[in-house]
Structure 1
Amino acid sequence: MATKEPPFTVQFSERDFEIRDYPAQAIAEVLVSGDRKEASSKGFRLLAGYIFGANTRKQSIAMTVPATQQAATNEKIAMTAPVIQSGGDGNWVIRFIMPEGATLDSLPQPNDPKVRLRMLAPQRVAVARFSGFAREEAVASNTAALQSFLVAHDLQAIGAPVLAQYNPPWTLWFLRRNEVMIPVAR
């Protein structure tokens, strides 16, 4: 059974790169610390708890992909948020994107105050797709390639790189789908 992805429109595609437009999305997110792998595991457990019923309605919420990870900035995270992961100085934001059509009003509140719900505004992102394990070297080289793609196509980055992972941990390395995403100006 396939896991749903959020809807998007491809505006441009070239080799392993795409420019995509995403509509507004409800997300659940947590701020965790550690190295990328440790933070991903911690954040995933917290967010999985929320979608598997650790919420005010004891309601299961459909799993969607990708789960994202991003280095945290000094910016505070809103109390309610989906899961995506980003990090800096050992702090990472991990996010799960809620099912299409979910709103802050329709989602149950998390039992754990570390899990925050919020809405992401519609956005355009540049994407570099790669397979295998999302090790630091692979993430760094694909981020650098995506940044070169932005320069070559006169695109302006307006946010930090985000690692998006689409597969459960038991997926064989050569079947894994990963992406580095960078928000860009329209």
Structure 2
Amino acid sequence: MTRPTTRTARALLGTVLLLSGAFAMATEEPQYQILRTTEDYELRLYDPYRVAEVEVRGDFEKVGSEAFRILAGYIFGDNRGETKMAMTAPVSQRPAETTREQAGTRLEMTAPVSQRPAGTESDSDSDAYVISFVMPQSFSLDALPRPNNPRIRLREEPAGRVAARRYSGSWSESRYREEERHLLEALRRDGLQPRGTPIYARYNSPFSLPMLRRNEILVPVAD
């Protein structure tokens, strides 16, 4: 039987550590100030932060598995220089089309990454999502190690205001949609204008008890 390559072994190890609760112990998160708290959401002002992200296709509730494997491999050393990085929080998920015009500064990769021209998305893209890992604050965008996997993009999320609705429990799409609808209705009521598609942020291991999970819906809002 063929032995797995070092790169593959590291990716598999990263996935095992991730899914066994490694990122549940993460303490570092993007820095923000709380501007206002209501019964329905928290209005935050985020500092810029860096992310590694990958686009995947599939069911809303299942696309995370493939993305976790790829991104965990990157932070556990599948990069130029074999640099290992600490796991942070949250792990975010959003529709792929929102990254074309609304993403922040992106670090260009040496390997080609396929992109769709703006405005060319179709119904066939409705099952495409971008999954993101937040990078440690100690790394600037230029200092982040280059991924060996050309599917991974490195990007800086710009500073800005974000409305965050927190909830615990199931990771199901039906629960997410319920909370998303509640948040968007509250923003309309309060006269806040969303400037991007809602982002699904998860802070815990898949093996954590649902009642103890921290889940958030993040909606960038206009200044």
TM-score, scaled relative to structure 1: 0.91
Q: In the alignment, which residue of structure 1 is the partner of 2:57?
A: 33
Q: Any idea what SS the aligned residue of 1:41 has?
A: helix
Q: Any idea what SS the aligned residue of 1:36 has?
A: coil
Cα deviation 1:105-144 (Å, max 9, x = unaligned) = 2111111001111111111111110001221111101100
Task: Check whether the contact 1:159–1:183 (CA below 8 A) recurs between aligned residues.
Answer: yes
Letter matched to residue 143 of structure 1 = E
Q: Any idea what SS the aligned residue of 1:12 has?
A: strand
Q: In the alignment, which residue of structure 2 is the partner of 1:23?
A: 47
Cα deviation 1:147-172 (Å, max 9, x = unaligned) = 01101111000000100000011101
Task: Check whether the contact 2:76–2:84 (CA below 8 A) recurs between aligned residues.
Answer: yes
After superposition, where does 1:147-186 map in structure 2 within 5 Å?
Answer: 147-186=184-223
Task: Check whether the contact 1:30–1:116 (CA below 8 A) recurs between aligned residues.
Answer: yes
Question: What's the offset of the Cα at 1:15?
Answer: 2.5
Letter matched to residue 70 of structure 2 = L
**Structure 2, gaps ≥5 residues long:** 1-24, 110-124
- Residue range with higher mean Cα deviation, 68-77 or 155-164: 68-77
Aligned mates of 1:159, 1:80 — CA distance in 2:
23
Larger radius of gyration between Structure 1 and Structure 2:
2
Letter matched to residue 182 of structure 1 = V
Aligned mates of 1:45, 1:140 — CA distance in 2:
26
Question: What's the offset of the Cα at 1:16?
Answer: 4.6
Task: Specify which structure has the higher proportion of strand.
Answer: 1
Q: In the alignment, which residue of structure 2 is the partner of 1:119?
A: 156
Q: In the alignment, which residue of structure 2 is the partner of 1:85?
A: none
Give the one of 74, 83, 86 matched to 1:59. Answer: 83
Task: Check whether the contact 1:29–1:80 (CA below 8 A) recurs between aligned residues.
Answer: no
Equivalent pairs, count: 180
**Structure 1, gaps ≥5 residues long:** 82-87
Query: What is the CA RMSD across the aligned residues, in angstroms?
Result: 1.8
1:72 and 2:96 correspond: yes
Runs of 4 or more consecutive aligned structure 1 residues displaced over 6 Å after TM superposition: none
Aligned mates of 1:50, 1:80 — CA distance in 2:
16
Q: In the alignment, which residue of structure 2 is the partner of 1:11?
A: 35
Higher relative contact order (CA 8 A, sep 6+): 2
Aligned mates of 1:2, 1:41 — CA distance in 2:
19
Give the one of 169, 172, 182 matched to 1:145. Answer: 182
Task: Check whether the contact 1:64–1:98 (CA below 8 A) recurs between aligned residues.
Answer: yes
